[in-house]
Amino acid sequence: MAKSAIQKIAMNPSENIAYDKLVLSQQNVRRVKDGVTIEQLAEDIGRRKLLQSLNVRPVLDGDGEETGTYEVP
């Protein structure tokens, strides 16, 4: 009987990212009212406090380098 390979998952440490470094992804699955900006969402999170972690991914430029901003999928 062949042994199955165990796939390891690499975990990245959490880090604090400024609100102005977040951009909405075109594939964003969250429901947002029309006309609501990322700044308004950030203010709302600041008022209510963040209740759960937010997973983001770095935005890459044409050469595949990180731009310093992060996409909210």
- Residue 43: enclosing H or E segment and its boundaries? helix 38-48
Question: Is 5 within a domain?
Answer: no
Contact 59, 71 (CB under 8 A): yes
Q: Is the dihedral of CA 50, 56, 62, 64 positive or negative?
A: positive
Question: Is 1 within a domain?
Answer: no
Enter the pTM of the model.
Answer: 0.54
Domain that includes residue 35, residue range: 19-72
pLDDT in tens, 4-63: 778 787 777 788 899 899 888 887 666 667 788 878 888 888 898 877 778 888 999 999
Question: Is 14 within a domain?
Answer: no
